[in-house]
Amino acid sequence: GAASWEEEVARAAFRLAQNRHGAQILLLGSGVPASRQEALLDAAGCPFTCDVKAEVLQSFFHGHGPLHDGAVLIRDGFVLGARVPLYISWSERMEGHGTRHYSAKQFCASFHPNVAAVAVSEETGSVSFFFGNDRQEVASEPELASLIRKHAA
């Protein structure tokens, strides 16, 4: 059958990691109020709606296209925007990780309890999942899809 949106996100993340393309994907759970979602979309460089597909997500972060900076925003199986800026407090740096990891961690720790994020490191090719104050390095597509189902539905 067709892949679930969670599997599509996982497939995209690991393909991007394999090719050393950095990525940041924000996942809004059902408990996030519409006003908080609107605030993110107002800041997005490119708000729009489309189904979550691995190829679409990969195209956002491939090379130096117009949408590769910032994060992609996903809720309920739909991409809601790209080029969402996340800001970093450099006082909370994570040793050995780049800006996508720092900002994903801060976003998940402070924005709302029902958010999660996926970050792909272009330096190391690692895939990390963030929820609350937790960061977990993920080893496989099925593991990432499972984490997304558990924390971002």
pLDDT tens profile 54-87:
999 999 887 666 555 678 999 999 999 888 877 6
User: Residue 12, CB half-sphere, CA atoms under 13 Å: how many?
Assistant: 25
- Which pLDDT score, from 0 to 100, does residue 126 have? 94
- Which pLDDT score, from 0 to 100, does residue 40 have? 83
Please count the other Cβ atoms lying within 10 Å of the Cβ belonging to residue 16.
25
Provide the residue ranges of all domains of the chain, joining segments of one domain with +.
5-151
Q: Is the pLDDT of residue 150 over 70?
A: yes
- Write down the residue that tokens 């130096």 correspond to: 64
Judge contact between 81 and 52, C-beta under 8 A.
no
What's this model's pTM, rounded to 2 decimal places? 0.86
At residue 140 the predicted structure's pLDDT band, cuts being 50, 70 and 90, is very high
Indicate the CATH number of 5-151 among 3.50.50.60, 3.40.50.2300, 2.30.110.10, 3.40.1700.10: 3.40.1700.10
